Amino acid sequence: MFQQEAIPTQPTDISPSYTSTSTSPPFTQADHIPQSRPDRPSSPSLLPLPEHTSTTLPESDSLLVFEKALLKANTGDEGAQVELGDLYREAEDYPEAMKWFAKAADQCNAVSYRKIGYLYDFGLGVPMDHSKAFEWYLKSAELGDPNGQLNLGLCYMNGQGVEEDSKKSLEWTFKAAEQGVPNAQLLIGIHYKQGLCLDKDFGKAMEWILKAAEQDSASAQDCVGDMYLAGEGVPKDTAIASEWYFKAAEQGYAQAQLSIARLYDDSEGVPHDYEKAMKWYLKAAGQGLGSAQNNIGVLYKHGHGVTQDYTKAAEWFHKAAEQGNKQGQFNLAMSYKDGEGVEQDFQAAMEWFLKSAEQGDATAMAFAGSMHHTGRGVKWDVAKARAMYLQALEMEPGNKAATLLLKTAEEFLAGEEGSTSDERKSYITIALSVVSLVYSIYSLWV
């Protein structure tokens, strides 16, 4: 049920560009952490990349904002120069953006230092250069810019442009968090929650993550929901968890939409309602969340809240599988194996079982072994099947499918020497029956 937190891991540009010297109306833009993450349970991942969003103004208003910024920037107003640089960057005119950021930087403007660093960090209008980005973030951070401090902390955390240093990373991230930067507060909270560079402390984790959530950070709100659902640092309370998920979901946060759907699906903290579950799964799936796409397929497969439709189920499993969702890959393999919603294809089933197994799904590895066990889609090879069952048990000790199938394979291999062709054919029939039995009761284990 639980899912990994969306950890800020790349430099961001999230604060308004204006200083106290600028009286221009805000033309806000943001470069923020992504709103997706792998399905729970999983180990922490430090891979998300920033996305770009902006406030869209009517063309006439945009022109007015630009003209005002240009007029003030030409008088030497450093805040307006940064604002103008932002406008050019939003228009993807990066050389002109750099020009105006540099003018503000000549006046020791901390925000402009950070923005120049960001252009170097992502190679926007200049060759990508993480070392130069680090130097500009350092200038910004030393002048007290909170987002510059966060970006500097992220550079130290990732070893990007500088040697990795967890102590310095935490030092700068704490400075940003204490200045109220939500992403920094969330990151400190995640460090405490997962015991990353800090002693695990759910109480302190909740304290910091809640600070970010109260500033409307959707990823933090989702994380608060996770902690209430798990009873981490607070008493377990699914009703309060759902409240926080709704806050994040209403901001369009896909992972929270998935969490709400699961609450309705599993009847946790809210009344059981497959139709509402489908509604929220669709919202999350529309943003490309593989887990949601897989779960929509499950609802169609079983006819929960919708008319049973194996074809639609297979289509949704395929969407999830193509995105690398291991459960979607497993379910698509099952669809091909059984010919549900797609033409029966044992080779395709084997392919998708293996893809899921490569991502650590032990049952998928066991079922891939079962294809060798019965000679469907691949050459009949009980010894190879046995090896795959053992591999599945290494991945997940006690895996039920692998345990049952391994016993059947070993019984055959123990008496294989001297067996006749007819006896082998008879064994395949028995193996098919055993494998089919395992398939049929698998739904009781997931």
Opening angle at CA 224, ends 221 and 227, nearest 5:
155
Residue pair 117/140 in contact by the 8 Å Cβ criterion: yes
Nearest Cα residue to 142 out of 114, 103, 177, 106? 114
Least confident piece of the model among 52-66, 123-137, 313-327, 350-364? 52-66
Share of the chain above pLDDT 90, in %: 71
Residue 51 confidence (pLDDT)? 32
Cβ atoms < 10 Å from Cβ of 161: 22
Q: What is the pLDDT of residues 302-353, one digit of tens each?
A: 999 999 999 999 999 999 999 999 999 999 999 999 999 999 999 999 999 9
Write out the DSSP string of 156-176.
HHHTSSS---HHHHHHHHHHH
Residue pair 331/293 in contact by the 8 Å Cβ criterion: no
Q: What is the pLDDT of residues 73-124, one digit of tens each?
A: 999 999 999 999 999 999 999 999 999 999 999 999 999 999 999 999 999 9
Length of the chain: 446
Residue 434 confidence (pLDDT)? 74
Rounded to whole angstroms, the maximal C-alpha distance in the chain is 96
- Tokens at residue 131, please? 């070392």
What residue segments make up the domains of the chain, in order of their start?
360-446
Q: Give the span between the Cα atoms of 112 and 137, in whole angstroms.
A: 10
Residue pair 355/317 in contact by the 8 Å Cβ criterion: no
Residue pair 297/314 in contact by the 8 Å Cβ criterion: yes
Residue 413 confidence (pLDDT)? 84
Q: Give the span between the Cα atoms of 161 and 71, in whole angstroms.
A: 36
Predicted TM-score (pTM) of the model is 0.75
By CB atoms closer than 10 A (0-12, 13-18, 19+), residue 445 is exposed
- Tokens at residue 93, please? 């005119």
Residue 74 confidence (pLDDT)? 93
- Tokens at residue 393, please? 């048990």
Write out the DSSP string of 370-413.
HHHHHTSSS---HHHHHHHHHHHHHHSTT-HHHHHHHHHHHHHH
Give me the mean pLDDT over the 397-405 stretch. Answer: 90
Q: Give the span between the Cα atoms of 199 and 214, in whole angstroms.
A: 24
Residue 10 confidence (pLDDT)? 67
Using CA of residue 127, residue 128, residue 131, residue 132, what is the dihedral sign? positive
Residue pair 371/378 in contact by the 8 Å Cβ criterion: yes
Grade residue 174 by pLDDT with cuts at 50, 70 and 90.
very high
Residue 144 confidence (pLDDT)? 96
Amino acid code (one letter) for 413 = L
**CA atoms lying within 13 Å on the CB side of residue 407:** 9
Q: At residue 148, does pLDDT exceed 80?
A: yes
